[in-house]
Amino acid sequence: MTESQNKTHFGFQEVDEQAKQGLVGNVFRAVADNYDVMNDAMSMGVHRAWKWFAVAQSGVSAGDSVLDLAAGSGDLSLKFANKVGPDGMVIVTDINAAMLAQGRKRLTDAGIAGNVDYCLVNAEKLPFEDNQFDCISISFGLRNVTHKDQALAEMRRCLKPGGRAIILEFSQPTNSTFRKFYDAYSFNVIPKLGELISDDRDSYQYLVESIRQHPPQEELKQMMLDAGFDRVRYHNLTGGIVALHMGYKY
């Protein structure tokens, strides 16, 4: 099978691998303007607590260098920039120009300058040197990457020895009863919210489907180990709706 014939998933659809990046790009161009409003609506604001927890667990401190992949509207980047201070650096990245513009706007409006830079980046092919960053984060973005193993390997390559990767992503609820409630909410409510708030049901239908295609907790942990990370662990948040995975480079 040639590369052009390789298949992957786009939500519940099967598509050519080469087509997925463009399809995902279309989704995030469509949702960029209402991204934060929809995050609050879908999670009832709980996404803010998930992100604060991720930053607290990252161990980032003054003077550190941080690479924030799939930074979206920049809420983690803003928190990291405040933590690293004027002697540190945060590289704010996204593969989608519309989302990166949202992140730049958030940080600029917050008065963040001097210790941040912005870059359009494909997580599978990072344009950075080996051993460059103290911490690399990706928040609610890994599930959209076609070759997750490549992205994980690139994250490890760009970390300094002793550096840590943090991956905040939707996962699988651990309680079967809660999972049924979550599935009902996801498939029946979230696309409807997308339709009402953003006039875009299809993008949020993709969101729900992409979550179900993402590797669950133990599988993602093993993928990080296979990529060469050490001391890999994860924390389930809100019953496993979201998981924070962490791994170190030694």
Residues annotated within the binding site for S-adenosyl-L-methionine are 73, 94, 122-123, 139
Compute the distance between CA of residue 37 and CA of residue 40 in angstroms, rounded to an integer.
Answer: 5
User: Do residues 214 and 55 lie in contact, with contact meaning Cβ atoms separated by under 8 Å?
Assistant: no
CA distance 173 to 171: 7
- Other C-beta atoms closer than 10 Å to the C-beta of 156 total 20
> Which residues belong to the annotated binding site?
73, 94, 122-123, 139
**C-alpha to C-alpha distances, 234 to 17, 83, 159, nearest whole angstrom:** 29, 22, 19
Whole-number Å distance between alpha carbons of 175 and 91: 37
